[in-house]
Chain A
Amino acid sequence: DAKTTQPNSMESNEEEPVHLPCNHSTISGTDYIHWYRQLPSQGPEYVIHGLTSNVNNRMASLAIAEDRKSSTLILHRATLRDAAVYYCILSRRDDKIIFGKGTRLHILP
């Protein structure tokens, strides 16, 4: 199983950038890196994914280390609505997807 390691919780001030780290030292060449976020009592929501290159979308940016053993989700300007649990996941074509406990992000007004 592909495993990731994330901090249990982080805090950030509103309207400031947030960098959420993820370590995945056992990543293989064909594993995709996915990020999801989950609000209370809701299902997780897709945020972004990547393979080797950095990725940007309307929600966030994903920075992937050159050796692919770590990645960082970047929220460019945090709002109170970004307070959630963020999961970093590795997905492999013919394997099950494993969710860890994620990082609980607190946004301070």
Chain B
Amino acid sequence: DGGITQSPKYLFRKEGQNVTLSCEQNLNHDAMYWYRQDPGQGLRLIYYSQIVNDFQKGDIAEGYSVSREKKESFPLTVTSAQKNPTAFYLCASTPGGGTKTQYFGPGTRLLVL
């Protein structure tokens, strides 16, 4: 089945540690996105990529980094510079074209030890 997978489902980070969240899609979608969601809040855009080897900062990019070396993959690294990383992280993708309907993965919950 086509879809978006995120791993792991839960991730624990120690102080000062970088961690990487995986996002893979087999939908052949051009654009991919990372969002952060805090309890009771909406989604905030961290980074997005419209084509391979290109990405743009969203509204809250500080303390995060991404890469887009392959069309199917868009990993997000939460660096030690992100002082409050505890949140639910969602990856999404959209096909080409004007409608930009987004398809979301199941999410990764990051907790700080």
Contact at A96–B58, with CB atoms within 8 Å? yes
Could you tell me the distance between the alpha carbons of A44 and B76 in the complex, rounded to whole angstroms? 19
B56 contacts partner chain A, Cβ-Cβ < 8 Å: yes
Name the residue on A nearest B97 (C-beta). A93
* In the complex, chain B residues 34-85 whose Cβ is within 8 Å of any chain A Cβ: 35, 41-45, 48, 50, 56, 58
Name the residue on A nearest B105 (C-beta). A43
A3 contacts partner chain B, Cβ-Cβ < 8 Å: no
Could you tell me the distance between the alpha carbons of A29 and B14 in the complex, rounded to whole angstroms? 48
Fill in one digit per residue for B99-113: 1 if any A CB lies within 8 Å of its CB, else 0. 111111111010000
Find A34's partner among B58, B90, B101 (CB 8 Å cutoff).
B101
Across-interface contacts of B88 in A (CB, < 8 A): 41
Could you tell me the distance between the alpha carbons of A87 and B45 in the complex, rounded to whole angstroms? 15
Contact at A97–B33, with CB atoms within 8 Å? yes
Could you tell me the distance between the alpha carbons of A97 and B102 in the complex, rounded to whole angstroms? 9
Contact at A91–B106, with CB atoms within 8 Å? no
Could you tell me the distance between the alpha carbons of A93 and B89 in the complex, rounded to whole angstroms? 24
Contact at A101–B42, with CB atoms within 8 Å? yes
Q: What's the minimum C-beta distance from A63 to chain B, rounded to whole angstroms? A: 18
Name the residue on A nearest B48 (C-beta). A96
Across-interface contacts of B44 in A (CB, < 8 A): 99
Q: What's the minimum C-beta distance from B101 to chain A, rounded to whole angstroms? A: 6
Contact at A87–B42, with CB atoms within 8 Å? yes
B16 contacts partner chain A, Cβ-Cβ < 8 Å: no
* In the complex, chain A residues 88-109 whose Cβ is within 8 Å of any chain B Cβ: 91-94, 96-102
B2 contacts partner chain A, Cβ-Cβ < 8 Å: no
Q: What's the minimum C-beta distance from B22 to chain A, rounded to whole angstroms? A: 14
Contact at A42–B100, with CB atoms within 8 Å? no
Residues of A at under 8 Å CB distance from B? 30, 32, 34, 36, 41-46, 49, 87, 91-94, 96-102
Known: A87-B42, A91-B99. 19 other contacts (CB 8 A): A32-B98, A32-B99, A43-B92, A43-B104, A44-B43, A44-B92, A46-B102, A49-B99, A91-B100, A91-B102, A92-B100, A93-B98, A96-B56, A97-B100, A97-B102, A99-B42, A99-B43, A101-B42, A102-B42
